[in-house]
C-alpha cells in the first residue's frame, strides 16, 4: 500500500520556509475508523499545506467527506458533508502539549488526519433536531409509527397517584 500522507522530513526541514502541498482522496478503508457513526463514506479528501519552520513543520489544510451516519435516536440514515480544518504543528522538541512530535526521516501524517476526521464527526447525529426516536418499550419508530406505550405509561402514573391518594386518605 502506498503512503500518500508520509512525507520526507529531512528534505523538508533542511531549509526553513520549504513548502509542500498534498492533495489526495483516500479510500475510507485506509483510515480503519471502526466507528459506527460512519456507515457509508467512500473517500476522504485531504488537502495539506506543509511549511517547514525553525525546529518543526506547520501543517494546515482541510479534510472533507460526504458520509452517511445513523441517527442516534431512531437509527435512520443521515447524510452529511463534513469538512474539518487542519492547523497543526510538529516539533522536534515539542514546546506545547498540542504539538506533535517530529522524529525520524519519514513522517506519517495519517494519524493526525484520522484524528481530525473523527473529531469532526458529530457526537450524536440526528435525522432532525427534534427526532422523537424509538419507543423505549416496544421499539416503534415514533416519527413514522407512533405507538400507544406513552399513553399507557401516563395512565399507569395516574393510577399510582390514585393509589397513593387512597392510602393518604386512610
Write out the residues near Zn ion by the rule CB under 5 A: 71, 73-74, 76, 127, 131, 135, 137-138, 140, 147, 149
Closest distance of CB 121 from Zn ion, Å: 16
Nearer to Zn ion, 12 or 142 (CB): 142
Is the Cβ of residue 47 or residue 141 nearer to Zn ion in the bound state? 141
Distances in whole angstroms, Cα of residue 163 to Cα of each of 5, 156, 160: 68, 11, 5
- Determine contact, residues 86/59, Cβ cutoff 8 Å: yes
User: Across the strands, what pairs with 159?
Assistant: none
Give min distance, CB of 74 to Zn ion, in A.
3
Q: What are phi and psi of 113, to 5 degrees?
A: -65, -40
Q: Shortest Cβ distance from residue 67 to Zn ion (Å)?
A: 16
- Pull the grid cell for residue 91: 516539533
Amino acid at each position: 500500500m502506498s503512503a500518500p500522507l508520509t512525507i520526507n522530513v529531512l528534505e523538508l526541514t533542511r531549509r526553513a520556509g520549504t513548502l509542500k502541498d498534498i492533495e489526495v482522496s483516500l479510500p475510507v478503508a485506509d483510515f480503519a475508523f471502526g466507528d459506527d457513526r460512519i456507515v457509508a463514506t467512500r473517500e476522504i479528501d485531504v488537502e495539506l499545506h506543509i511549511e517547514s519552520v525553525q525546529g518543526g513543520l506547520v501543517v494546515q489544510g482541510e479534510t472533507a467527506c460526504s458520509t452517511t451516519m445513523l441517527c442516534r435516536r431512531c437509527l435512520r440514515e443521515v447524510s452529511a458533508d463534513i469538512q474539518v480544518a487542519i492547523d497543526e504543528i510538529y516539533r522536534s522538541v515539542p514546546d506545547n502539549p498540542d504539538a506533535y512530535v517530529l522524529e525520524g526521516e519519514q513522517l506519517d501524517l495519517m494519524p493526525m488526519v484520522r484524528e481530525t476526521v473523527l473529531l469532526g464527526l458529530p457526537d450524536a447525529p440526528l435525522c432532525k433536531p427534534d427526532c422523537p426516536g424509538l419507543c423505549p418499550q416496544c421499539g416503534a419508530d415514533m416519527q413514522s409509527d407512533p405507538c400507544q406505550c406513552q399513553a399507557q405509561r401516563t395512565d399507569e402514573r395516574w393510577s399510582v397517584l390514585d393509589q397513593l391518594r387512597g392510602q393518604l386518605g386512610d
